[in-house]
C-alpha cells in the first residue's frame, strides 16, 4: 500500500493535522514511529515542522512537556496505537501534576475494525482518562483540524494540563487510498450478506469523508486575572506584616512569555522570597532579596506568607510549615490547591503571575523590614559557609558538593539545567544557581524519575544554542540512557553528568537506618560513559577530585563543537541530606 499523502485534491487527514499544528506555532514534535501515525509525521516534516523521534514514547511526552514549560505553547507528542499510548501514562501524569500543557496525538486502529480484534486496538480513552484534562476521539476527517485547535485551547485554559486526541489510521491517508483499502477489504460474492457488507463499507467511508472542515482560527486563551478585592486584601495584610515572606512556584511562570514581567513584579514587591520549580532562576543567581536555605525556619517565623502558585502539599509539610497565627495569602489557578490542607486568610483565584504584577502595582512603596531581611540572609550565609566547608572534605572519589560548585562556576550565562534524579539532584538544588528565567527543569510534584532525556531534548529544540546540562542520578539515567542514540542522530549537544554512587541513595539512607537492610537499593559503578560512546556520543570517566575540573572543561568544549557527551563521575557517599526523605 502507498504511504504517500495526497498531492492533488483534498488534503489527507495527516496533512490537515500538520496544517493545524503549524497554525498553532508548533516548530517541533516528538514521536516514536508507528504505522498508525505515519501520515502525520510525513506531512509535518513536509511543512517544515521538525520531527524528533526517540526510543521510548515516554521520552516523547517528557520532551513535549519541557517544550510547553519553556515556551508557553503546548508541546506535541505523536505516538502509535495501543502500547504506544500506554507507554506514555507516567509522562502524562507527570505533566498533569506539573500543570504543563501538552497535546498527545495517538493513532488508533481503523474505525471499522475497532473492537474486532485489530492490531493494537484497545480502549485508549479509558486508559488515559484520569491522566488528561480533556480527550477527543475523532471519527471524521473534517473534524481532525477542529479537534487539534480545541485541544490547544483546552490544554492552556484555566489550570493547564495534557490533552489527548485519538486519530484512527483510516482518517489519516488520502481519500482515494482509503476507498481502495475498503474496496479491497469488502466481500466479492453476490449473496445478500456480501452485498450488504459492501454497502455498509461504502456508507461508512462516505461518513468518514463527509463534511467540509472550516478554517480553524487560533483561539486566544487568557489567564484569569485577580479580583481587585483580593489584591486589596493581600496588600493590606502585607503592609501590616513585620516579617513577610514570599514563595513563588512553577505556576507563576506558566505564561512563559510574561516571565520577565513576573520577575519585575517580585523585585518591586521588596519582600524576601524563595523560588521553586520552574520559577528557579527567575531573578538571576544573586538577587539581594532572594533566599536559598532554611526555608522551614523562615516560614515558621513569618507573620505573613504569600504563596504564589505554591500549594500546601508535602513540600510545605501539608501547610504545617506556616505557623497558624500567620496571615496566609494564596494565589493559585486551582481553587482546590488554593485551599489544600490550609484555609488561607486571602484566597486569590487566578493566575499567580498576574496576581504578583497587580500586587506590585498596588504596593508601590513597600520598603523596610531590613532587620528581618538581615536575619534571613545571615542564616543563608551561614548555611553557604557550611556547604563550602563540606565541599572541601576529601574522600576516595569525588565530593558531590565540590562537583556542583565547579559546575556552577563554569556554566555559561545561558545555561539550562535539567534535573533528573533523587539524592544527587536534591544536592544540586542547594548549589546550582540558574542564570535566569526558565533555565531550570525538574519533574515537579510527582517526583518522576526518567524525565531527563526527554526534558533535555525539548529544551534543546526550543533553546537552540543554549548550553545544556543534564544532571542525572545513576539510578535515573537507567530509564533513558539509550536516548543518547537520539541525541546523536538529532545533533543535541548536551552535557550529561551522571552522579555515580552505585545506589539509590535517597532511599537507602532512610531504609537502612529504619530497617537495617539495603535490599533493592544497591547498584554497580557501571560504565555509563561507555554506553554513551557506543551510541556515538563522547564518554568521560571521572574517579578522583583532581580529574574533575579538566573533565568538565573538556565536556563543555565537546558540547560547543556539537557533540553530546556523558561524564560519569564516581561519587563519595555523603550525609549532606541526612533526614530529608518526604512522604
Q: In whole angstroms, what is the distance from residue 384 CA to residue 34 CA?
A: 51
Residue found by looking up cell 508557553 in the block: 72
- The least confident of 124-128, 156-160, 332-336, 506-510 is 506-510
Is 27 within 8 Å of 49 (Cβ atoms)? yes
The CATH architecture that domain 228-376 belongs to is 3-Layer(aba) Sandwich (3.40)
- Beta strands 244-248 and 304-308 are parallel
Strand partners, 103: 76, 163
Q: In whole angstroms, what is the distance from residue 320 CA to residue 461 CA?
A: 40
Is residue 189 packed enough to be buried (19+ CB in 10 Å), middle (13-18) or exposed (0-12)?
A: exposed
Instruction: Tell me what pLDDT residue 437 has.
Output: 95
Instruction: Tell me what pLDDT residue 579 has.
Output: 56
Residue found by looking up cell 483561539 in the block: 219
- The least confident of 171-180, 244-253, 382-391, 394-403 is 171-180
Is 255 within 8 Å of 343 (Cβ atoms)? no
Read off the pLDDT band of 577 (50, 70, 90): low
Q: Which of 528, 550, 576 is nearest to 400 (CA)?
A: 576
Q: Which of 136, 190, 569 is nearest to 395 (CA)?
A: 569
pLDDT of residue 583 exceeding 80, the answer is no
What stretch(es) of the chain map to CATH 3.40.50.970? 13-208, 392-570
Strand partners, 499: 473, 569
| C-alpha 191, offset from chain centre | 57
pLDDT of residue 269 exceeding 70, the answer is yes
The DSSP 8-state label assigned to residue 143 in this structure reads G
Is 57 within 8 Å of 65 (Cβ atoms)? no
pLDDT of residue 120 exceeding 90, the answer is no
pLDDT of residue 145 exceeding 90, the answer is yes
**Residue-wise burial string across 60-94, b where 16 or more C-beta atoms lie within 10 A, e elsewhere:** bbbbbbbbbbbbbbbbbbbbbbbebbbbbbbbbbb
What stretch(es) of the chain map to CATH 3.40.50.1220? 228-376
Backbone angles phi, psi at 465, to 5 degrees: 90, -15
At CA 396, angle to CA 395 and CA 399, rounded to 5? Answer: 50
Instruction: Tell me what pLDDT residue 582 has.
Output: 54
Residue found by looking up cell 498596588 in the block: 362
Is 540 within 8 Å of 555 (Cβ atoms)? yes
Average pLDDT over residues 423-432: 92
Instruction: Tell me what pLDDT residue 578 has.
Output: 63
Q: What is the CB neighbour count within 10 angstroms for residue 560?
A: 12
Instruction: Tell me what pLDDT residue 91 has.
Output: 98
Instruction: Tell me what pLDDT residue 3 has.
Output: 40
Average pLDDT over residues 93-117: 91
pLDDT of residue 2 exceeding 50, the answer is no
Q: In whole angstroms, what is the distance from residue 358 CA to residue 384 CA?
A: 34
User: Which residues, other chains included, contact 198 with Cβ-Cβ below 8 Å and sequence gap of 6+?
Assistant: 186, 187
User: Which residues, other chains included, contact 501 with Cβ-Cβ below 8 Å and sequence gap of 6+?
Assistant: 400, 423, 424, 474, 570, 571, 572, 573, 574
Instruction: Tell me what pLDDT residue 208 has.
Output: 86
Instruction: Tell me what pLDDT residue 351 has.
Output: 96
- The least confident of 59-68, 307-316, 509-518 is 509-518
Average pLDDT over residues 71-76: 96
Q: What is the pLDDT of residues 32-62, one digit of tens each?
A: 999 999 999 999 999 999 999 999 999 999 9
Share of the chain above pLDDT 90, in %: 81
The CATH architecture that domain 392-570 belongs to is 3-Layer(aba) Sandwich (3.40)
Instruction: Tell me what pLDDT residue 1 has.
Output: 34
Could you report how far apart the first and last alpha carbons of the chain are, in Å? 54
Q: What is the CB neighbour count within 10 angstroms for residue 508?
A: 21
Pick one of 3.30.1310.10, 3.40.50.970, 1.20.120.140, 3.40.640.10 as the CATH number of 13-208.
3.40.50.970
Residue found by looking up cell 504506544 in the block: 84
Is 9 within 8 Å of 141 (Cβ atoms)? no
Instruction: Tell me what pLDDT residue 4 has.
Output: 37
Q: In whole angstroms, what is the distance from residue 111 CA to residue 262 CA?
A: 47
Q: In whole angstroms, what is the distance from residue 504 CA to residue 418 CA?
A: 19
Q: What is the average pLDDT score of the chain? A: 92
Q: Where does 34-168 have alpha helices with state H?
A: 38-46, 57-71, 83-86, 89-97, 124-128, 144-156
Read off the pLDDT band of 368 (50, 70, 90): low
- The least confident of 63-77, 198-212, 508-522, 549-563 is 198-212
Average pLDDT over residues 512-539: 95
| C-alpha 120, offset from chain centre | 28
Q: What is the pLDDT of residues 327-364, one digit of tens each?
A: 999 999 999 999 999 999 999 999 999 999 999 999 86
Name the more confident of 174 and 101: 101
Q: Of all helices (H) and strands (E), which one includes residue 53? A: strand 50-53
Q: In whole angstroms, what is the distance from residue 209 CA to residue 487 CA?
A: 40
Q: Which of 365, 399, 441 is nearest to 547 (CA)?
A: 399
Q: In whole angstroms, what is the distance from residue 226 CA to residue 252 CA?
A: 13
- The least confident of 4-18, 167-181, 429-443 is 4-18
Q: In whole angstroms, what is the distance from residue 137 CA to residue 128 CA?
A: 12
Q: Of all helices (H) and strands (E), which one includes residue 338? A: helix 335-338
Amino acid at each position: 500500500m502507498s504511504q504517500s499523502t495526497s498531492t492533488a485534491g483534498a488534503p489527507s487527514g495527516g496533512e490537515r493535522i500538520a496544517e493545524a499544528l503549524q497554525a498553532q506555532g508548533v516548530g517541533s514534535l516528538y514521536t516514536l514511529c508507528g504505522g498508525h501515525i505515519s501520515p502525520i509525521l510525513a506531512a509535518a516534516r513536509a511543512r517544515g515542522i521538525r520531527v524528533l523521534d526517540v526510543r521510548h514514547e515516554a521520552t516523547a511526552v517528557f520532551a513535549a512537556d519541557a517544550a510547553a514549560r519553556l515556551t508557553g505553547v503546548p508541546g506535541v507528542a505523536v505516538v502509535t496505537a495501543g502500547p504506544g499510548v500506554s507507554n506514555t501514562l507516567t509522562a502524562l501524569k507527570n505533566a498533569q501534576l506539573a500543570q504543563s500543557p501538552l497535546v498527545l496525538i495517538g493513532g488508533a486502529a481503523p474505525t471499522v475494525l475497532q473492537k474486532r480484534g485489530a492490531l493494537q486496538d484497545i480502549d485508549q480513552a479509558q486508559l488515559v482518562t484520569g491522566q488528561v484534562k480533556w480527550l477527543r476521539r475523532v471519527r471524521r476527517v473534517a473534524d481532525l483540524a477542529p479537534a487539534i485547535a480545541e485541544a490547544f485551547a483546552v490544554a492552556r485554559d484555566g489550570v493547564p494540563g495534557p490533552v489527548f486526541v485519538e486519530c484512527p489510521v483510516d482518517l489519516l491517508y488520502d481519500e482515494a487510498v482509503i476507498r481502495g483499502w475498503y474496496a479491497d477489504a469488502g466481500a466479492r460474492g453476490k449473496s445478500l450478506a456480501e452485498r450488504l457488507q459492501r454497502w455498509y463499507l461504502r456508507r461508512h467511508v462516505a461518513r468518514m469523508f463527509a463534511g467540509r472542515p472550516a478554517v480553524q482560527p487560533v483561539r486566544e486563551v487568557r489567564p484569569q486575572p485577580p479580583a481587585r478585592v483580593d489584591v486589596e486584601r493581600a496588600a493590606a495584610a502585607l503592609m501590616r506584616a513585620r516579617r513577610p515572606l514570599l514563595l513563588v512556584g512553577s505556576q507563576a511562570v506558566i505564561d512563559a512569555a510574561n516571565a520577565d514581567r513576573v520577575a519585575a513584579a517580585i523585585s518591586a514587591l521588596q519582600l524576601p522570597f524563595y523560588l521553586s520549580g520552574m520559577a528557579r532562576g527567575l531573578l538571576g543567581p544573586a538577587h539581594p532579596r532572594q533566599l536559598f536555605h532554611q526555608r522551614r525556619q523562615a516560614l515558621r517565623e513569618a507573620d505573613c506568607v504569600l504563596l504564589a502558585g505554591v500549594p500546601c502539599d508535602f513540600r510545605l509539610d501539608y501547610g504545617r510549615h506556616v505557623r497558624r497565627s500567620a496571615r496566609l495569602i494564596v494565589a493559585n489557578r486551582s481553587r482546590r490547591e488554593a485551599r489544600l490542607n490550609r484555609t488561607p486568610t486571602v484566597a486569590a483565584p487566578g493566575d499567580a503571575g498576574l496576581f504578583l504584577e497587580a500586587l506590585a502595582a498596588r504596593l508601590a512603596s513597600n520598603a523596610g523590614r531590613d532587620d528581618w531581611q538581615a536575619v534571613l540572609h545571615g542564616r543563608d550565609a551561614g548555611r553557604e559557609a557550611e556547604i563550602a566547608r563540606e565541599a572541601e572534605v576529601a574522600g576516595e572519589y569525588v565530593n558531590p558538593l565540590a562537583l556542583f560548585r565547579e559546575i556552577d562556576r563554569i556554566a555559561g550565562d545561558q545555561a539550562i539545567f535539567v534535573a533528573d534524579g533523587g539524592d544527587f539532584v536534591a544536592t544540586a538544588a542547594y548549589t546550582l544557581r540558574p542564570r535566569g528565567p526558565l533555565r531550570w527543569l525538574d519533574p515537579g510534584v510527582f517526583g518522576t524519575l526518567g524525565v531527563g532525556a526527554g526534558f533535555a531534548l525539548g529544551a534543546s529544540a526550543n533553546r537552540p544554542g543554549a548550553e545544556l546540562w543534564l544532571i542525572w542520578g545513576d539510578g535515573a539515567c537507567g530509564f533513558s540512557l539509550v536516548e543518547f542514540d537520539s541525541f546523536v542522530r538529532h545533533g543535541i549537544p548536551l552535557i550529561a553528568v551522571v552522579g555515580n554512587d552505585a545506589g539509590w541513595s535517597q532511599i537507602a539512607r532512610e531504609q537502612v537506618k529504619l530497617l537495617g537492610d539495603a535490599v533493592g537499593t544497591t547498584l554497580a559503578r557501571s560504565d555509563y560513559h561507555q554506553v554513551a560512546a557506543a551510541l556515538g556520543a563522547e564518554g568521560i570517566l571521572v574517579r578522583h577530585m583532581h580529574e574533575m575540573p579538566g573533565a568538565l572543561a573538556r565536556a563543555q568544549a565537546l558540547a560547543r563543537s556539537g557533540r553530546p557527551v556523558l561524564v560519569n563521575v564516581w561519587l563519595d557517599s555523603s550525609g549532606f541530606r541526612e533526614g530529608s526523605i518526604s512522604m
